[in-house]
Amino acid sequence: MSEVTPPWAYETPEIRPHDPRLLLAAETERARLAELLAPWLADGVEHVGSTAVPGLAAKPVIDLMASVRDPSAVVAQAGDGLAADGWCYVPPELDQRPWRRFFVKPDESGQHRVAHLHLIQAGHPRWAEQLAFRDALRRDGQLAREYADLKRLLAARHVGDREAYSAAKAAFVANALAGHAG
């Protein structure tokens, strides 16, 4: 990342009605990443997050998660290929989430995020948690509606603070995982 902070770095979270085109775009992006990251993949590339749940209101940003043997090696060895494909690396000291390596794909204008790539160490609990939460939302329409309502509330409360918005969802996610375990 350059010294200049890109506009997408502090983009305001905006919750929109479900857009089924994002499911198709995610599948295209997932397949592309599976090809780019093939030498490093352990458990594949998954579409997670709200855009992976049919009918769920979401930010129009596709979240993709790749299980890899060594996230830092992927950054070092595949970083140029990811950059050529439009992905921008967010260094760990900026991301503040030591359990992943993180990339953002902005739109052609460079103003808005269109996708996130979460590189996660194979076997890390976060992998299973992300999949379990996605699957719980897919199975339980009431849970999905409650989550959508919470996201709208938090997006309004945390305008301009994407990190606070994300952090404020943590208790809901933890409760949903506890209620849908097993």
User: pLDDT (tens digit, 9 = 90+) per residue, 100-127?
Assistant: 999 999 999 998 999 999 999 999 999 9
What is the three-class DSSP state of 18? coil
Residue positions counted in the chain: 182
- The pLDDT of residue 2: 47
**Could you tell me the CATH superfamily of domain 11-179?**
Beta Polymerase, domain 2 (3.30.460.10)
Predicted TM-score (pTM) of this structure: 0.89
CB count within 10 Å of CB 35 equals 11
Q: Please state the domain extents for the chain.
A: 11-179
Task: Give the tens place of pLDDT for each residue, 50-85.
Answer: 999 999 999 999 999 999 999 999 999 999 999 999
Q: Over 90: is that where the pLDDT of 8 sits?
A: no
Q: Each residue of 126-177: pLDDT tens digit?
A: 999 999 999 999 999 999 999 999 999 988 888 877 778 888 898 899 999 9
Q: Are 177 and 132 in contact (CB under 8 A)?
A: yes
Identify the H or E element spanning 36. helix 21-36
Strands 41-48 and 62-68 come out as antiparallel
Query: Which region holds residue 117: left if phi is over 0, alpha if psi is between -120 and 50, else beta?
Result: beta
